[in-house]
Amino acid sequence: MSMSGSPEAVLARYRRASDYINGLSEGSPTPRPDATPADIRARAILRVDRMRRFLDFAGNPQDRFHSVHVGGTSGKGSTATFIAAILQASGFRTGLHVSPYIQVETEKLIVNGKLLSAERFAGYVDELAELLGRWYAAGGERIGYGQSWVALSYLALAREQVDFGVIEVGAGGRFDLTNVLTPDVSVITSIGLDHVRTLGGTIPEIAWHKAGIIKPGRPAVTTVTQPEALAVIQEEAELQHAPLTIISAGRDFEIVSTGDDGTEMLDKRTNHVFKTGLSGVFQAPNAAAAIAAARAIGDVPGGKVTQDSIACGLRQARFAGRIEIVQEKPRVVLDGAHNPAKMGSLAESMKQLSQPRQRILIFGSVESHDFSSTARVAATIADEIIVTSPALDWRSNADPERLAEVFRQTTDKPVTAVDDPFDALSLALDRAGDQDEVLVTGSLYLIGKLRNHWYPADQIILQQTMWPMWPETSCPAR
């Protein structure tokens, strides 16, 4: 699987592999606009069944490593990142799969804290293409983009011989394509109204989908405490005879402080203060869930979870686009808060993190998200608002002029619509003084696009890190 040549040649090979797997989305079936909930569920069940059969055809790579499966409406990506960092610090060779990626495909394939190399990514895509060829030759049904990515991820993690794969659910859980694992631990971070067309319009309906990742006899962890959602999760755990750990703020942990360099939380079970590498008050429950998940892991060869490895893993964890400060004077913060709950948590955190002279908000959204409700929350922490578009050519963008009107109906603060996201960024930077702050938020796709201003995608690919040219840090050798 070796690849030699200049950086240009390596990037060209990477892009061919990227084009191949992204091209698999063309023609992928999606629920019809007039599809009923029963139609949507039937389609989801068929897709998961096809996923299982294709993985069986591939030799079931998902069964060749231990795993932790992480779902929830908000916080699942950060929680998965924390768990992976803890397991790596504990001595396990650890793979991490999160979704979606914001800049480069290899964000979804991280091994021991480093993005998969361009060489290995391209090689695994070749292997997937060969596998698909044999599948179709044998009369197999069409495998779309989502199924291909799950298969590629499990295949890559198996080939990389990880001890643990930490897998973030895509959406929902019960019928998510990743839900073909038998994880050592399942984690459910939160329940909120999101993806209501496919998951349902009530909290209990969505909780039922999330609870579907709980497996027979395997421990589960949740930080969900609202009664109508927790009751559904508890019922599923009882049905599966799965021991359930419920983590509650106040009883099990409390926030000590939060700042630019991370969040401190007190673990009341051990009376130990842990500091995370991720900022924001919402990171405390995510860290608490990660600690509980790591402690729930039994005797697995390859490493050992200790108090020290938990502390070091939490401290080393980084996750692009989540209250990420990318420059000072003016300060620029990136956070992909794309639903009302996430925006509410972001707003609470920003009030504690910084007190700029003024905050200029850059906001963009895809059409399918509840941008009206999200915008109303976002307006409460902005002194000036610039709305723009994620400028995706493969997904419907919310129209900036329409977004501007939503903000104008909510606030009397200045609102400007700018079609091009980089023009929006230039305008904000021009208007911001050294004591001001620019907050880019709304869509993770917008975050990913504008993040190229500070961290170009080609450098990320070649250096196998989301923070090229940053000094690497690590936990002490075990």
Among residues 163, 138, 174, 146, which one has the least CA distance to residue 58?
138
pLDDT of residue 476: 67
Task: Indicate the number of domains in the chain.
Answer: 2
**In 3-state terms, what secondary structure has residue 452?**
coil
Q: Which CATH number do you get for residue 228? A: 3.40.1190.10
Rounded CA gap, 289 and 283, in Å? Answer: 10
Query: Do residues 149 and 272 share a domain?
Result: yes
Tens of pLDDT, residue by residue over 293-347, are 999 998 898 899 999 999 999 999 999 999 999 999 999 999 998 888 889 989 9
pLDDT at 363: 94
Query: What's the pLDDT score for residue 469?
Result: 74
Of the residues 303, 318, 333, the one at which a domain ends: 318
Distances (CA, A) of 194 to 39, 74, 200, 203, 340: 19, 9, 9, 10, 9
State the pLDDT at residue 395.
Answer: 73
Q: Which residues of the chain have pLDDT under 70?
A: 1-4, 25-31, 195-197, 394, 471, 473, 476-478
Do residues 26 and 121 both lie within one domain? yes
Q: Is residue 89 part of a domain?
A: yes
- HSE-up (13 A, CA, CB side) for residue 311: 11
Query: Residue 425: inside a domain, yes or no?
Result: yes
Here the CATH number for the domain that contains residue 395 is 3.90.190.20
For residue 167, give both structure tokens.
Answer: 């897998």
What pLDDT score was predicted for residue 331? 95
Q: What is the pLDDT of residue 30?
A: 65
Q: How far apart are CA 445 and CA 102, in angstroms?
A: 6
Q: Is the peptide bond before 100 cis (omega within 30 degrees of 0)?
A: yes
Q: Are 94 and 303 in contact (CB under 8 A)?
A: no
Q: What is the pLDDT of residue 478?
A: 53
Has residue 201 been placed in a domain? yes
Residues of the domain holding 412: 324-457
Domain identity same for 307 and 331 = no
Half-sphere exposure (Cβ direction) of 235: Cα atoms closer than 13 Å: 11
Cβ contact 437:382 at 8 Å? no
pLDDT at 452: 96
